Structure 1
Amino acid sequence: MRIDFDKVTAIDIHTHAEEPCGLHADDGYDDFQEGMKEYFRSPFDHPPTIPETAQFYREKNIAAVIFPVDAERETGFRRYNNDEMLELAQEHDDILIPFVSIDPWKGKIGVREAKNLLAKGARGFKFHPTFQGFYPNDRMAYELYEVIQESGMPALFHTGQTGVGAGMPGGMGMRLKYSNPMYLDDVAADFPDLKIIAAHPSFPWQEEALALATHKPNVWIDLSGWSPKYFPPLLVRYANSLLQDRVLFGSDWPAILPDRWLRDFEALEIKEHVRPKILKENARKILGL
C-alpha cells in the first residue's frame, strides 16, 4: 500500500464500489440504482467506477476504504467480483484501501473465499444485514467471523435505516429489522477480538448503538450516510467524550460526497482535539496503519 497517511487530510472509512465498469446490470438493478439516486439526490447518472472514485479522492487528498456488497441471495443481483475489485483497488493503492464482501449465507464456500481474499490483500469485510437478509448474530455467520477475527481485519456492518429499496414498492422487500445494532452485541461478546464497525448514525436505534459501543471496546461507529448537520445531539455528545477514540469519518460515497460531509462537519460543535481523531487518527488505529 503506497498511501502516505501522514500527508492525506482524512480517511473516509465508507465508500462503495457499486459495479465494475462494462458489466451489464441484472434485470432490476437499474431500477434499484435509480431509486438510490432519487433517495440520496445523487449527482451521478450511474455509480462511478473504481478508477473514477480513486481519481476523485486523489484530487481531494483523502484516502478511502472502498468495498462492494455481496447480496446475491437476497436480491438476485450479481455481485461485484471480489478478486476484480481487489485488483482494481491495488492499481490505485496510493489512495484506496480495499475491503471485500461475502454473503454470509454462502457458508463454507464463503469461508474459503474469505481466506483466499485475505491472502490477496483484503483489509476488511463489509456486511449489510438488511441487503443480505440476515441477523448479524445468526450462528450461520460465525465461522466467517472467526476467520475475520483471526486475521485482525475489521468487519463493517450497516446499521439503522437504509436507502436500499427506499420508496420502491414494499421497500424492494428489504427488512429494516435486521439492521438494529443491538444484534451486534452478541457478535461483539462472542468475538471480543473482532474489530466491529457499526456504520451510520443508527436511526431509529441511535441509543442502542451508543450503548453497544460504550459497553464493548471492540466496537467503533462510523458517521457515514448522513450529513453531520442532521446528527442527533446525543451522538455528537458521545463523539466529543466517551467515544472520541472510536468514532470514524465516513461519507457513503457516491450517495454522499465527502466534500459535503466535511463542509457540514466543520460547522459541527466538535472539540478541536477530537476532530483529527474522527477524520483520520481513529481510522489509522482500527486499520492497523
Structure 2
Amino acid sequence: MNLDDLIALDIHTHAEEPCCGPRDDGYDEFQAGMAKYFKNPAGAEGMLPTVQDTANYFRERRIGCVIFPVDSERETGFRRYSNEEVARIAAENSDIMLPFASIDPAKGRAGAREARRLVREFGVRGFKFHPTLQGFYPNDRAAYPLYEAIEEEGAITLFHTGQTGVGAGMRGGMNMRLKYSNPMYLDDVAADFPDMKIIAAHPSFPWQEEALSVATHKPNVYIDMSGWSPKYFPPILVQYANTLLKHKMLFGSDWPAITPDRWLSDFEKTEIREEVRPLILKENARRLLAL
C-alpha cells in the first residue's frame, strides 16, 4: 500500500459474513437489527459485501482500508469469519487493504498462539476486540496472555467502545451488555502494556470524556472516529480533535454499516481545522501503522 496514492485510510471496516457454509441460525435477524439501527438497506436485504467486494469498493474511491472479522463465537454462537481467509484476500488486494484479525480472549494461551501465527505467517497487523459482543472487560487478566503475544509481536489492538448497534432494539438487546465497553477499562490495559498501540473505536457514548481522558493521558492510546456520521460528533470530541488529540484521531467508517462516502461527505461539513483534516484522514494512520 502506497498512501501517497490514496486520499484517505479507513481504519475500521468489517468482514461480516461467516465462513464454512451458510449463515447460522439467527444471523439474519441479527444483521437485520443492525441494518435498522444504521438505516442500511443493503444489510436488511442480506446483501452484505464480501471482503473482495470491499476491496473493489475502496479501490474505486482510492481509499485504503483496515479490515477485520469479529470472533464472538462463545457469546453469540455465530461462527467467525476465518482470520486466515480475511488475511489471504487482503494480501491479494494489498494495494488497498490491510488485515487485522479477531480472537476471543477467552481462548487464553491457545488464542495467544494463534495471534503469533497470524502475525508471523499471514501478515496480520492488528487485532479487533468488541467487549460487548465478546462479553468481557478489557482489563480482565484472563485476556492478558493474548495481549502479551500481541505486544511482543508488535501488533496493534482495536477495541470497540461505547454503545453499540449490536442487538439494539432487539429483545433484551440480544443479551449484549453495554457496561463492558466503557473506555476507562482501557486505561488499565494501556498502563500494563505501554508498548502496545491501542485504538479506542468510535465516539464513546455515553463515556466520551472517559475516552478523551485515557487518550490524553496514555501515549499509546488513539481514537478512531467510526460508527457515527461526523455531523453527530459531540462538540468535545471535535474540540479535542482540533487540539490536544489532533495527532491521535483516526478516520474510520464502520463499513458496511456506514459507508466512507457518507462519512467523508459529512466530515467536510464538520468544524475540523483545515490543517487537522489530513492528519485524521491519513497521516496519523500512516505513523501508527508505520506505512
> What TM-score comes out, normalization by structure 2 length?
0.97
Match of 1:66 in 2: 67
For residues 169 and 195 of structure 1, the distance between their equivalents in structure 2, rounded to whole angstroms, comes to 36
The offset of 1:92, in angstroms, is 1.2
Match of 2:8 in 1: 10
Matches within 5 A, 1:122-161: 122-161=124-163
For residues 158 and 290 of structure 2, the distance between their equivalents in structure 1, rounded to whole angstroms, comes to 15
Alignment pair present for 1:287 and 2:285? no
Matches within 5 A, 1:255-270: 255-270=257-272
Match of 2:245 in 1: 243
The offset of 1:23, in angstroms, is 2.9
Match of 2:33 in 1: 35
Match of 1:52 in 2: 53
Indicate the SS of the match to 2:163.
coil
Match of 2:187 in 1: 185
For residues 22 and 128 of structure 1, the distance between their equivalents in structure 2, rounded to whole angstroms, comes to 22
Match of 1:200 in 2: 202
Match of 2:97 in 1: 96
For residues 187 and 193 of structure 2, the distance between their equivalents in structure 1, rounded to whole angstroms, comes to 10
Q: Which runs of 5+ in 1 are unaligned?
A: none
Match of 2:22 in 1: 24
For residues 27 and 15 of structure 1, the distance between their equivalents in structure 2, rounded to whole angstroms, comes to 24
For residues 147 and 284 of structure 1, the distance between their equivalents in structure 2, rounded to whole angstroms, comes to 23
For residues 35 and 98 of structure 1, the distance between their equivalents in structure 2, rounded to whole angstroms, comes to 26
Tell which deviates more after alignment, 9-18 or 21-30: 21-30
For residues 182 and 20 of structure 1, the distance between their equivalents in structure 2, rounded to whole angstroms, comes to 31
How many residues align? The count is 287
For residues 147 and 263 of structure 1, the distance between their equivalents in structure 2, rounded to whole angstroms, comes to 39
Q: Deviations over 1:84-142 (max 9, x none)?
A: 11111111111111000000011111111111100120011000000000000000000
For residues 78 and 20 of structure 1, the distance between their equivalents in structure 2, rounded to whole angstroms, comes to 6
For residues 267 and 50 of structure 1, the distance between their equivalents in structure 2, rounded to whole angstroms, comes to 30
Counterpart AA for 1:98: P
Contact 1:10 1:279 in 2 (8 A): yes
Q: Deviations over 1:209-248 (max 9, x none)?
A: 0000000010000000000000000000000000000000
Counterpart AA for 1:110: G
For residues 20 and 60 of structure 2, the distance between their equivalents in structure 1, rounded to whole angstroms, comes to 24
Contact 1:133 1:174 in 2 (8 A): yes
Contact 2:66 2:98 in 1 (8 A): yes
For residues 186 and 219 of structure 2, the distance between their equivalents in structure 1, rounded to whole angstroms, comes to 13
For residues 219 and 92 of structure 2, the distance between their equivalents in structure 1, rounded to whole angstroms, comes to 34
Indicate the SS of the match to 1:99.
strand
Counterpart AA for 2:60: E
Indicate the SS of the match to 2:188.
helix
Q: Which runs of 5+ in 2 are unaligned?
A: none
Counterpart AA for 1:27: D
The offset of 1:20, in angstroms, is 5.1
Indicate the SS of the match to 1:193.
coil
Runs of 4+ displaced beyond 4 Å: none
For residues 32 and 176 of structure 2, the distance between their equivalents in structure 1, rounded to whole angstroms, comes to 16
What is the percent sequence identity of the aligned residues?
70
Match of 1:167 in 2: 169
Contact 1:213 1:219 in 2 (8 A): yes
For residues 63 and 87 of structure 2, the distance between their equivalents in structure 1, rounded to whole angstroms, comes to 19
Contact 2:11 2:250 in 1 (8 A): yes
For residues 265 and 118 of structure 1, the distance between their equivalents in structure 2, rounded to whole angstroms, comes to 33
For residues 234 and 185 of structure 2, the distance between their equivalents in structure 1, rounded to whole angstroms, comes to 21
Contact 2:19 2:80 in 1 (8 A): no
For residues 18 and 137 of structure 2, the distance between their equivalents in structure 1, rounded to whole angstroms, comes to 28
Match of 1:212 in 2: 214
Counterpart AA for 2:6: V
